[in-house]
Chain A
Amino acid sequence: MLYLELFIQGLVQGSIYALIALGLTLVYGLLRILHVAHAALFTLGGYIGVIVTNATGSFTLAMLVAMLVVGLAGMLMYKLAYEPLLSQPPYVSLIASIALFIASEEIFRIAFGPYGLSYQTAPLQGHIELFSGFYLKYAEILVMGLSTILMIALAWLSMQTRTGVAWRATVTDPDMARAFGVKIQNVRYLNFFIGSSFAAAAGVLVALLNNLVEPTMGSVASYKALAIIVLGGLGSIRGTLIASLLLGVLESFGTIYIGHLLDRDAIAFAFLILVLMIRPQGLMGGKL
């Protein structure tokens, strides 16, 4: 019973990680950039979610607005921050991304105050009792459900539509894709839009689970997401998904049973380093 609960919680947490890490993996796969500032978009999504819900009373509207606005913000971030740095060595965009992330945390604090925001009347706080003593919050069901839907939608998009094919082609071989008439620029924008809006969804969901958004809520997510995509094998979407869920469950059990040795975040990195030593390309990584 306890184990089942811990497992389900691991899946819930893992779903959130998956939504965030996916955006990171998409960017890396396309541009070989470690997009640390991605977590800032996660936080922005959370803030928009709470503000719109408090203003209009509709959670669904808030989710849609958050995903849209943050998707656009992600595209803007690419245009202003990453595009000019594409010709520089990789550490330049990494540092620029970290700088951007720290700056955005400060901007959130200055703009929204250090206190953090909460929903006035948090939606979906009720729970259902599946069987004796096992409770599941509506919010938790939503997290798992929405993540699954978004992932399936993404898979459908990339496999079954022209845009998706163009996208996969660009990732595999940009020059070839260009030769076939694919507009690389648009693919990149689409990439950032999707990754960022997924992060926004994650932000809104986390705000729902905790009933709190803070300027620094992205910091843990940013490092963990990096660990996850490396764990999964940089650039591999499947690897990222597996790594996310795996880590979620691992943390869930780990905090209870080895919490006295390592704190929660360290568990993620310990696991990562372990895996990298055995398999330097990550769980599902291809070439090194």
Chain B
Amino acid sequence: MKKAKIISAVVMSGLLSIATGHASSIKIGFNVPLTGFAAADGKSALNGAELAVEQANAAGGINGDSIVLVVYDDQASPKEAVPIAQKLIEKDEVVAAISGSYSGSTRAAAGIFQEAGVPYIAAYAVHPDITRAGNYVFRTSFVGEVQGRAGAKLMGETLGAKKVSVITLKNDFGKSLAAGLKQAASNYGITIVSEYEYGIKDRQFGPIVSKVKSDKPDAIYATGYFFTAGPLVSQLRAAGITVPIIGQEGYDSQKFIDIAGAAAEGTIITTSLNRDSASIETKNFIREFESKTGNKADMVAASAHTAVKVIVAAMRQSGSMDKAALRNAISATSVVAATGTISFNALGEVRKDVQVQIVKDGNWHEHSVISDSKLLAPPNE
């Protein structure tokens, strides 16, 4: 009797291991804010990434193995991101990871991934120091400074503004954008007449709005996320300010338009997703995202989708799950994704066109495209 029990136990565990062994999965880590102030962007980014994983698995995965996204909520907080990075590396033993989160947490986590030799892609976080963590860290979106410079060209050349008021969100996102703007401002004949800062929790901008009104600028460059930009733009317009307001990818969401209402009309932003794009990749992404989630696509979803695509392409290219080989494959990758053609320079930064979108009739539409190579060249080190 005992012998039979032992044999059956061995057989059972054998079957079990075969069963699990056959469906071996490839784990990609994903840190994203699902709670806290950035939860809306996080949810959207997660949807974008999940869509990309579904599509990759439907196309056969990587040589039959399916890809699994290991997701943790980092609340867009560096304090949370670090233990998550440690967990992904040491407990889940991911092959590579993506940050669907903001700059603060990405930057903190990047150092951990670099040290552990695990490839890490920042989907849309803008802070320059992120890729400087080392050669295992990449970014599929613009560095803050580059987007800021594009903003300068947009305002100075395309819109002909001479005097600009800058309203900066006091965090790495807002500050790096403002820094880029200031770098390039004089090249396009722009004088920055005044600069104000606000905190991420602010929703009442009365004092700043009044002061800006008295400054009488030709255009306003305001950095922020949709939940700050929405109220800000609405309050600026309500105060009787009619000059163009230029935003960035932080505004890039239908929610911005919902919040600001009629005041959103005419707001122009620099971003990576062109809703009116002729590219098949972009069109497909927009369509599939909407049918999967019922929400309109936005920049964070597109960027997360892109980041997954890059890793999948690199995995197929390198054929092995060795992290160093994967890193090399990512570095050499050139992939067409929803946010443009992605290829990296020595620092791990991408060079792609800046999409300029404008709110027309309650939706984001194409305004123009900025392709100046020299202007948009990302840092190399």
Contacts and interface: CB of A to CB of B under 8 A. Distances in A.
Interface of A: 1-2, 5-6, 9, 12-13, 106, 109, 114-116, 118-119, 121-122, 125, 127, 129, 133, 135, 137, 206, 209-212, 214, 216-217, 219-220, 251-253, 255-256, 259-260, 263-265
B196, B201, B230, B238 — which one has the most chain A CB atoms within 10 A of its CB?
A: B238
B239 interface: yes
Given A1-B214, A115-B255, A216-B37, A256 B207 contact: yes
Contacts of A265: 199, 201
Interface string B193-237: 000111101111011101101100000000000010011001000
B40 A13 contact: no
Nearest to B39: A114
A106 to B, nearest CB: 8
B207 A252 contact: yes
A255 B35 contact: no
A264 B199 contact: yes
Nearest to A117: B258
A252 B206 CA distance: 8
Given A1-B214, A2-B211, A135-B238, 18 more contacts: A5-B206, A5-B213, A6-B210, A106-B35, A114-B43, A118-B255, A118-B259, A125-B238, A127-B240, A129-B240, A137-B238, A209-B231, A210-B203, A212-B231, A217-B203, A252-B206, A256-B196, A259-B197
Q: Give me the 6 closest cross-chain CB pairs, A-B, nearest first.
A: A114-B39, A9-B206, A5-B210, A115-B40, A210-B231, A210-B203
A116 to B, nearest CB: 6
A211 B231 contact: yes
B308 interface: no
Interface string B27-54: 0000000111101101100000000000
B260 interface: yes
A265 B207 CA distance: 15
Contacts of A219: 201
Given A135-B239, A210-B203, A116 B210 contact: no
B229 to A, nearest CB: 11
B207 A253 contact: yes
Interface string B251-264: 00001001111100
A211 B227 contact: no
A256 B211 contact: yes
A211 B263 CA distance: 11
Contacts of B231: 209-212
A219 B206 CA distance: 20
Contact of A135 (B39, B227, B240, B258): B240
Nearest to A264: B199
A4 to B, nearest CB: 9
A216 B203 CA distance: 12
B170 interface: yes
A13 to B, nearest CB: 6
A133 to B, nearest CB: 7
A263 B238 contact: no
Nearest to B44: A115
A220 B201 CA distance: 8
Interface in B315-374: none
A265 B230 CA distance: 21
Contacts of B234: 125, 210-211
25 contacts: A1-B214, A114-B40, A114-B42, A116-B227, A118-B255, A118-B258, A118-B259, A125-B261, A125-B262, A127-B240, A135-B240, A209-B204, A210-B203, A210-B231, A212-B227, A212-B230, A252-B207, A255-B198, A255-B208, A256-B207, A259-B197, A263-B170, A263-B199, A264-B202, A265-B201
A207 to B, nearest CB: 10
Nearest to B201: A220
Contacts of A122: 261
Contacts of A13: 204, 206
